[in-house]
Amino acid sequence: MLCMKNYQSQNKKGRNRGNKNIVDKKLNAKKIILTLISFIVFWAMITDAWGYSNFIFNNNIGTYIYGYISRFIWIFPAMFLIIRYNNQLKFKKNELFSQPIFNKSLVLTITIILVYIFVMMIVNHKGFWINSEIILWLIVIKYIIVGMVEEIVFRGWGYNSLVNIMSHKKATIITTLLFILLHFPSYFIKFLRFGTFDFVGIIVQIISALIWGIVFCILLKKGKTIWNPIIVHTIYDLMSVLFIGGV
């Protein structure tokens, strides 16, 4: 009888330790925010704002190639986190990576983008204009990748994990503020390298990232698939470069 009690006691302790390990691995807001900050720091380290592509390739196409490779490297940890913590996400990976949902929010957002791009093109260039200083196929690939990786990191992982433990509003605010910070390093790196700081550029970037960060979270919430914000992100970036200007 004593042996049986000892066995039961040890078995109960073992289960308690197992439960404790499960609890320890449960996500909380602090852990999720730290992962997103880590992504920002990681990107600040590998971004081509440091001029890595010039040392490796020393040509214009090499700049694009480095951009593709660095972004795929950057996204790997996010994919691991999504798979590892799939059960603690609002939208599980099978649903998250399912086909796009052409709902009202997606169609309306694309329509607004097209109208905005057309108006800005007319205002800036006094008529129809297309950017002739870019290599079209390289730019298309670039912004497909940019839209995909940024959305998977900040919406597919960040917002998706936060909204499972807090309200949509709070998750959107946190994710969007960190999304804004993602765009800061390149400005400060260029300041360190060249001694000039683009104040206008960073203000425009803050406003743009703020607006679109909120929109992307709404698109994921409404569509329940990461492809909806990826599509909008890609269209906006690509159309802006093609018909307004920039790279």
Res 11: pLDDT: 53
Question: pLDDT by residue (tens digit) across 94-125?
Answer: 999 999 999 999 999 999 999 999 999 999 99
Q: Rounded to whole angstroms, how far apart are CA atoms 221 and 217?
A: 6
Encoded amino acid at 132, one letter: S
Take residue 117 and report the two structure tokens written for it.
């791009």
Cα 205 to the center of its chain, rounded Å: 15
Of the candidates 217, 190, 6, 24, which has an alpha carbon nearest to the alpha carbon of residue 109?
Answer: 217
Res 119: pLDDT: 97
Using DSSP's 3-state secondary structure scheme, residue 75 falls into: helix
Collect all residues with Cβ–Cβ distance below 8 Å to 229 and sequence separation of at least 6: 147, 151, 155, 215, 216, 217, 219, 220, 223
231, 237, 241, 247 alpha-carbon torsion, rounded to 10°: -130
Res 246: pLDDT: 72
**Helices marked H in 183-226:** 185-194, 199-223
Q: Rounded to whole angstroms, how far apart are CA atoms 142 and 183?
A: 16
Q: State the DSSP code for 2.
A: H
Res 10: pLDDT: 52
Take residue 190 and report the two structure tokens written for it.
């260029």
Res 247: pLDDT: 62
Q: Rounded to whole angstroms, how far apart are CA atoms 86 and 211?
A: 28
Collect all residues with Cβ–Cβ distance below 8 Å to 149 and sequence separation of at least 6: 71, 72, 74, 75, 78
Spatial contact of 120 and 148, defined as CB atoms under 8 Å apart: no
Low-confidence ranges of the chain (pLDDT < 50): 1-9, 16-24
Take residue 76 and report the two structure tokens written for it.
């790997």
Res 135: pLDDT: 92
Spatial contact of 119 and 217, defined as CB atoms under 8 Å apart: no
| Predicted model pTM | 0.89
237, 240, 243, 246 alpha-carbon torsion, rounded to 10°: -100
